[in-house]
Structure 1
Amino acid sequence: MELGRLGVWYPADRLDGPGLATLARRVEELGYGTLWYPEARGYESFTLAAHFLASTTRLKVGSSIANIYARDAFTARRGMATLNAFHGGRFILGLGVSHIPMVEGLRGHRYDRPVPAMRAYLDGIQADTGEDWPILLAALGPKMLELAARRTHGAVPYNVTPEHTAIAAGILGPGKVLAVEQKVCLETDPERARALGRAELAHYLALPNYVNNWLRTGFTEADLKDGGSDRFIDGMVVSGDAAAIKAKLAAHFAAGATHVCIQPVHAKGDIAARDAMLAALADS
């Protein structure tokens, strides 16, 4: 699973079809190895992957993540196989258990215990095939990371710090993919960067899966109140000039990441700022 050293993660629901195609081509032109995207309330994950893949020729495309409650395991397997057959093996299936509001509130399913639910889903994908499927897990806690190490190519942790990366690398062990997401903001005014960061992180602060992981990795209850402390925001959204951001990306690699996907944080609709960040960090 060759992802390249750097990738890009972007909230795809913010763009229309032509805008998504333009983003994918720009990411490919700049030399990034992989483009990652979430599955939230808008576009369906596999359809979106097909659009990205059809818009590019070399770029790998990864779901980060495809919600296991959005389609049964057989459908996920056939979708993954179809995308790779049609597009030269360039699709990586990142799977995750999502969050209670997205599963019970939005989809009307019952949110089961995360690790047993993921294990059963992998059983459905991998049973009786003999295939080495290109699967990664959205793993934050130790038990999900252990499952990723045993059953898949590795993990795609989101909203993490280099401290978490070191823990994850230790659990996954050698030979596994550890593709971590890092939010970046090419902004030298700390207050403006923090304001953008708080806006980006606001909805994640209401999701227990992330909150629990942040508490496990050194943040406090106080750090997570009132939109997040400066310490928390600075830890989650790397800001400053390109050199400062590149140093933080290097910290993830030093901690054991095999791939880092950057998420540009910018004002709503500011595509110029997004593209400036992608260009500035492409050779990190």
Structure 2
Amino acid sequence: MSDALKQAIGRYGVWSVGLRAEDPARRGELAEAAGELQELGYGAVWLGGSSAAHHAVPLLEGTDRLVVGTSIQSIWDYEADASAAAFAEVEAAHPGRFVLGLGVSHAKLADQYRRPYSALVAYLDALDGAGVPADRRVLAALGPKVLELSRDRAAGAVPYLVTAEHTARAREILGTRPLLAPELKVVLETDPARARSLARETLAMYLALPNYTKNLLRLGFTEDDLADGGSDRLVDAVFAWGDDNRIRDRINAFHEAGADHVALQVVDDSPRDGLQRESWRRLASLLA
């Protein structure tokens, strides 16, 4: 299924919190937005936050080939049996178009956070027992152990807040067949000060989460890089900004490092949980 999944999602997708369906009154709006994303050429939508299968339904109903994945569903928020039942329901209605992205989230965000790696393994065991195929789930993997788990117990990995260098390291661990679909934040802004200011507004929340900061330190960044909202070096490594050519080059760097697909999160001055339709159109035009 990894090969089929790679073909289905293509090279680019959109990562968004705003496309997650919470309010039933927004279902039509979300379906329409998903339909446009499909027509713009994006192969997948990745639902940010602790999303779940039911959040994907309006997007799947509004399209006929778009793949929708959770990025991620926290294992602490949904019991494995409930997750498996929701997967089966969505799969029956939209065969082959939903991908269950799982992760352990963060200690600051989950009161029950204990032995996260062991908990993730147990969760995958329970999904196996409930019949959720390994090749229809992906893991939010940063460090080597969870990347290995992504290789051995899932279709691949969806790392978040990473660099092209991390992508190269992840590909070495995964090998050639598993899916590698890192998230990359994009600021459609050419002014360096403005671009980095927008980037730092988004980056701030992640620099308070040790899972991310430890991974960045493993990649060679220093405590100084993590201070004061992030150094220019750090911002430029985890965000793509600039003119069309520069942004294309930054995205291509992830593909050249081994990514099969890049989940693109547009960062602008709109609400994080809103629909960034004009920005998604602009981004699609530079990817064409």
Matched, 1:275 2:280: yes
Q: Secondary structure at the match of 1:206?
A: coil
Q: Mind listing any 5+ residue stretches in structure 2 that lack a counterpart?
A: none
1:141-200 CA distance string (max 9 Å, x none): 001101111111110001011000001000111210001111111111010000110111
Shift of 1:236: 1.2
* Count of residues in Structure 1 that have an aligned counterpart in Structure 2: 275
Shift of 1:132: 4.5
Shift of 1:139: 0.3
Matched, 1:27 2:32: no
For 1:147 and 1:193, how far apart are their aligned partners in 2? 36
Q: Secondary structure at the match of 1:93?
A: strand
Contact 1:264 1:277 in 2 (8 A): no
Contact 1:185 1:277 in 2 (8 A): no
Percent of aligned pairs sharing the same letter: 47
1:41-60 CA distance string (max 9 Å, x none): xxx52221112111222100
Decide which of 122, 126, 129 is 1:124's aligned counterpart.
126
For 1:82 and 1:272, how far apart are their aligned partners in 2? 29
1:97-152 CA distance string (max 9 Å, x none): 01112211xxxxx2022211110000000127484540100000001101111111
Match of residue 216 from structure 1? 218
Q: Secondary structure at the match of 2:108?
A: helix
- TM-score, normalized by length of structure 2? 0.90
Match of residue 135 from structure 1? 137
Decide which of 56, 60, 67 is 2:63's aligned counterpart.
56
For 2:193 and 2:98, how far apart are their aligned partners in 1? 38
Decide whether aligned partners of structure 1 residues 185 and 74 sit closer, same or farther in structure 2, where only a CA change above 3 A counts.
same
Q: Mind listing any 5+ residue stretches in structure 1 that lack a counterpart?
A: 105-109
Matched, 1:38 2:53: no
Match of residue 173 from structure 1? 175
Shift of 1:227: 0.7
Match of residue 5 from structure 1? 11
Contact 1:27 1:278 in 2 (8 A): no
Shift of 1:272: 5.8
For 1:45 and 1:258, how far apart are their aligned partners in 2? 23
Decide which of 191, 204, 216 is 1:202's aligned counterpart.
204
For 2:177 and 2:135, how far apart are their aligned partners in 1? 16
User: Which range moved further: 5-14 or 245-254?
Assistant: 5-14
Decide whether aligned partners of structure 1 residues 188 and 273 sit closer, same or farther in structure 2, where only a CA change above 3 A counts.
farther
CA-atom RMSD in angstroms: 1.9
Contact 2:84 2:130 in 1 (8 A): no
Contact 1:161 1:236 in 2 (8 A): yes
Q: Secondary structure at the match of 1:71?
A: coil
